[in-house]
Structure 1
């Protein structure tokens, strides 16, 4: 029998994708036993397939919690296949215009585990201090505008999972270190459509951030406008938030998603 038609091979492929899809629903990761229950397979079978996926770089296991989650490699493969719908390509012209309009630095990030990674940056065009951000840099989710914008897309239990696997510590005097306080802020983010980093990650810097929908199973993304706190007081912050939300309308239009 041809290997492509071998029922055992087909079954193994089906089971592998069942696991991948279930991992995709659990951004905070999932324990082996829980994953086994969800996909309806014996733990030894799930462990064998996870070991294979991990060996190929598609799955990682948290050394502290033991939870498994998808790595960015899957997104990299998908990104090559759907390059025309790449989030950076889709968002770049709108973020360039947003930065030019408000005169401040704009960042685009994607989620990787409990962190956000800068994938695109537009420097402020006038009278600005140089931001410490750079493409490829990791920042925590729990204390950044972009992180909170993405967290607001998740249910409370998922937020709790991410919180419990994060290294929660005060980076500034304003850093949120209480889950209940964060959950309250996320409710506000959901109501108004944007998140605020009020000098929580970097002293003297405020940010307005907006989440973007996941594209074809890629990682969650968000973008932010960052400025010195003295230049982003509450009135200016509200004006910039409106500009940032308008940019989202344009991005969604270009990728064919209804606002």
Structure 2
């Protein structure tokens, strides 16, 4: 959990109290966990607090050889943004949260700004995040709902447990997640989850716009486009055939 927050703002100097507040853990627990992470080189002390350490970079570099999700998905995001004129996002599943790791913008004069690269949201908060939550097995859905309950306050207050359970059911039935101004009024987004070679949800591709640009009659074309690009991404994620 601490690494997730540090990675979400890698240039920030995180104080112990900041990490405790963000994670919901007691300061003594955070201090103990930081000690273990620093011993492994995953975290290092810097002026004013803590940041990711060099070992985190090495692990990330090794993982990127297998999961170059941004590189794999960038052509798809560009096609979605160009064809719709709106914003295309790539969200990656990380525990009980979704990280926005890539964003492409179309030529619409008004574009959503609530989600930027590096944004972290509890699962279910936003279409890109709800698509991933709905793709998990039922027991993992419940664990995620329970784990993120303390975080779903303030701007995420409308995302109640009941809302998430209903959203998961609806997403599974219709094959895509839809968010109509639940978190940001006047904004609508549609998203679909992509699965890895083992059938696990790993990322989502979404299209978001001001609601006037995503009226019901326009959605079928967007859904078809997203489905096509998700299939392309899933094909890239499959390991090469062995001969």
**TM-score of the two chains, using structure 1 as the length reference:** 0.63
2:197–2:238: 8 Å Cα contact kept in structure 1? no
What is residue 136 of structure 1 aligned with on the other side?
Answer: 118
Structure 1 residue 109 displacement after superposition: 1.4
What is residue 186 of structure 1 aligned with on the other side?
Answer: 168
Q: 1:104 aligns with which of 75, 78, 86?
A: 86
2:87–2:111: 8 Å Cα contact kept in structure 1? no
1:209–1:224: 8 Å Cα contact kept in structure 2? yes
Q: 1:115 aligns with which of 97, 101, 125?
A: 97
Gap regions ≥5 residues in structure 1: 1-50, 59-72
- Quick one: distance in 2 between partners of 1:146 and 1:209? 5
Structure 1 residue 217 displacement after superposition: 11
- Aligned pairs for 1:144-163 within 5 A: 144-163=126-145
Q: Which secondary structure does the structure 1 equivalent of 2:155 belong to? A: coil
Q: 1:176 aligns with which of 152, 159, 168?
A: 159
C-alpha distance after superposition, 1:121-170 (max 9, x if no partner): 00122222352322112223222111111111222221121111212236
Which of these two proteins has the greater Rg computed from alpha carbons?
A: 1
**TM-score of the two chains, using structure 2 as the length reference:** 0.67
Structure 1 residue 75 displacement after superposition: 10
Indicate how the Cα distance of structure 1 residues 170 and 233 shifts in structure 2: closer, same or farther if over 3 A, else same.
farther
What is residue 210 of structure 2 aligned with on the other side?
Answer: 228
| 1:199 to 2:199 alignment | no
- Quick one: distance in 2 between partners of 1:82 and 1:127? 34
1:111–1:219: 8 Å Cα contact kept in structure 2? yes
1:150–1:211: 8 Å Cα contact kept in structure 2? yes
Structure 1 residue 189 displacement after superposition: 1.4
| 1:87 to 2:69 alignment | yes
What value does the CA root-mean-square deviation take over the aligned residues?
A: 3.3
- Quick one: distance in 2 between partners of 1:130 and 1:165? 28
Gap regions ≥5 residues in structure 2: 1-34, 43-54
Q: Which secondary structure does the structure 1 equivalent of 2:209 belong to? A: strand
- Quick one: distance in 2 between partners of 1:101 and 1:152? 26
Count residues in correspondence: 192
Q: Which secondary structure does the structure 2 equivalent of 1:226 belong to? A: strand
